[in-house]
Amino acid sequence: MKLPRIPNPLSILKGHKEKTPEELTPMRHSLAHLLAAAVMELYPDAKPTIGPAIDNGFYYDFDFNDTDRRGIDAELGRIESKMRGLLPSWSSFTSREISQDEARRLFETNPYKRELIDEIASKGENLPAGKAGITLYTSGQFTDLCRGGHVENPAKEIKPDSFRLSHIAGAYWRGDEKNKMLTRIYGLAFENKAALDKYIAMQEEAKKRDHKVLGPALGLFMFHETSPGMPYWLPNGMTVINNLVDFWRKEHKERGYLEIASPLINKKELWITSGHWDHYKDDMFIADMGENEIYGIKPMNCPNAMVVFGSQTRSYRDLPYRLSDTDILHRYERSGTLNGLLRARSFRQDDSHNFIAEDMIEAECKRILELTDRFYGIFGLEYHLKLSTRPDQFMGDVSTWDTAETALRKVLNEKVGAGKYGIKEKDGAFYGPKIDIHMTDALGREWQMGTIQLDFQQPKRFKLEYADKDGSRKTPVVIHRVLYGSIERFIAILIEHTAGNFPYWLAPVQVKVLPITDTQKKFAEEVFDKLQGSGLRAEIDTRAESLGKKIRDAKLEKIPYLIVIGEKEQKESKITLESRDKNGKGESMKVADLLNRLTKENHP
């Protein structure tokens, strides 16, 4: 059953093309200056440090005295009002260049600005002594050390109701925990009030859908302090994972994929051969067992797939040779980046490594993209593609990379058309360029999910070969690809995309039987037994509660179907079926018709 596309409840600007973060950067940067000016008028003892534009607005870091810092959280409204009061007088930004010595004198009481000035000098970014080398920007009565990038006339170009101060946070100076903790004031800023309101509404809706709240509430997963970033999957969550993987297995088996499993720990020599030891070691969990035995817990499956391919003599007749797996991987994500299932230290990938001849690249990529349509379509997820090109740190030679990038561009041109896909410069894997799959959820947020990576390098490093038609030995090309991506991350996004209302075939509990009184309990249990006997995931609620409470509780559990059995239903040997997704009167039907309907729907 295909999950229908969930309409975005936040289409406040329907038909209006919103500005991109890049287009809004000058305005947001200007507002960071305005924030600093307002703070300095209200708190003359504060020391301003730095304040950039960010994707949803701006922030500025300040060093307040102890008294001001303790009360600043309650003062955001006052600061915001001061910003609006100053805005009409900010008719322009003017710049001037000064020498390092003059800059040091100007900011002699601000050690943070002095440090920035000294850093510019140490990097040789200044002009010779005696000449201008530091840029100042002034608007209104406020002057700041800055390299530019503002709107020309803030008073005219910034609408007073297009920004809002949102919250404060602690932030170490320069992001170093050895430095002093500063107070960071965040602001939201968009092109107009409607866009700002839309963003705020979206954030409120996102809170309701937060997978870190809904997941534990629905009995899907939990975390524990003894294994940060590594989820415990609970019974309901395992049901979701197993159904996703079962669907994945069925679709891949039909397309000639062969499933494998491989060790989760390998000696470092494997990672040296693959190139991960040089390019990825800092993101791996490493186990030093002594006696010159160092192991790496695998962060990805590709080296193990190379070992499997190389374990036997291969022929051109074996190609494409598609090895798939869903092994658990571990990556040492830094604690500050962990975010529930979205960024975890342990996760599964619906991985595959497709070993092909070079002349098979386009056809194999096309097959993978057709499978992508299938996987994303059933969830109502829209996606678009981006090409990631050669990074600065790469393996192999440039000419081989150029060949690989040209092949992927040709695939994308045929799939979506030239110029209709994004380019992520220097964002390829260290062993090859890739096509990244980006999807948009019900809240309009973009996520990178699957990826298709073209690799000429690792097969060479593992000395992989196959016998070609003429008897010559050739090195295969490998396509690394995932569709769900991280299954954990996919489930997190699916929870938030659906607000926890999984499609019927995927829901941990698909149907709940609700007898109204104990008189109907026996018939209800007979219906329940038949549901389970048909392979459906059913529960029965025989609590001594009112029907209204039973229905409310079942809806909080996001159960797709409710079966109500009262005196009338028992007398007629029927049931009343209510749907989670439909409001209104339930449908009366015979039990046989119920089983037939629910069984037919129980597949993607």
- The reply to whether 349 belongs to the active site is yes
Give the separation between CA 599 and CA 535, rounded to whole angstroms: 8
Q: Which of 184, 434, 550, 558 is catalytic?
A: 434
282 DSSP assignment: G
Q: Which of 350, 351, 436, 441 is catalytic?
A: 351
Give the separation between CA 543 and CA 550, rounded to whole angstroms: 8
Q: What is the CA radius of gyration of the chain?
A: 30
- The reply to whether 434 belongs to the active site is yes
Q: Which of 298, 480, 481, 574 is catalytic?
A: 480
- The reply to whether 61 belongs to the active site is no
- The reply to whether 550 belongs to the active site is no
Which residue, among 448, 400, 447, 454, has the nearest Cα to 432 in the 3D structure?
Answer: 454
Q: Which of 302, 455, 457, 570 is catalytic?
A: 302
- The reply to whether 330 belongs to the active site is no
C-alpha distances out from residue 163 to 24, 80, 553, Å: 12, 9, 40
Q: Which of 353, 537, 558, 574 is catalytic?
A: 353
Three-class SS of residue 481?
Answer: strand
Three-class SS of residue 454?
Answer: strand
Q: What is the dihedral angle through the alpha carbons of 547, 553, 555, 560, rounded to the nearest 10 degrees?
A: -80
Give the separation between CA 412 and CA 436, rounded to whole angstroms: 11
Residue 542: how many other CB atoms lie within 10 Å:
15
Give the separation between CA 340 and CA 41, rounded to whole angstroms: 40
| Structure token pair of residue 124 | 């040789």
Q: How many helices (H) and strands (E) does the chain have?
A: 20, 29
Residue 39: how many other CB atoms lie within 10 Å:
25
Q: Which of 69, 150, 322, 349 is catalytic?
A: 349
- The reply to whether 453 belongs to the active site is no
Are 486 and 349 within 8 A, CB to CB? yes
Q: Name, in order, each residue with C-beta under 8 angstroms of 285's C-beta and a sequence gap of 6 or more.
A: 296, 297, 330, 331, 332
**Amino acid at residue number 569:** E
Give the separation between CA 575 and CA 565, rounded to whole angstroms: 6
- The reply to whether 210 belongs to the active site is no
Which residue, among 92, 220, 94, 197, has the nearest Cα to 152 in the 3D structure?
Answer: 92
Tell me the β-bridge partners of 575: 589
Three-class SS of residue 143?
Answer: strand
Are 4 and 501 within 8 A, CB to CB? no
Q: Which of 331, 348, 497, 537 is catalytic?
A: 331
Give the separation between CA 265 and CA 278, rounded to whole angstroms: 18
229-235, Cβ contacts within 8 angstroms, sequence gap of 24 or more: 229/333, 229/335, 229/338, 229/343, 229/344, 229/345, 229/346, 230/330, 230/344, 230/345, 230/346, 231/341, 231/344, 231/346, 231/488, 235/508
Burial of residue 463, with CB atoms counted within 10 A of its CB: 0-12 exposed, 13-18 middle, 19 or more buried: exposed
Give the separation between CA 136 and CA 117, rounded to whole angstroms: 12
Are 515 and 488 within 8 A, CB to CB? no
Which residues participate in catalysis according to the annotation?
302, 331, 349, 351, 353, 434, 480
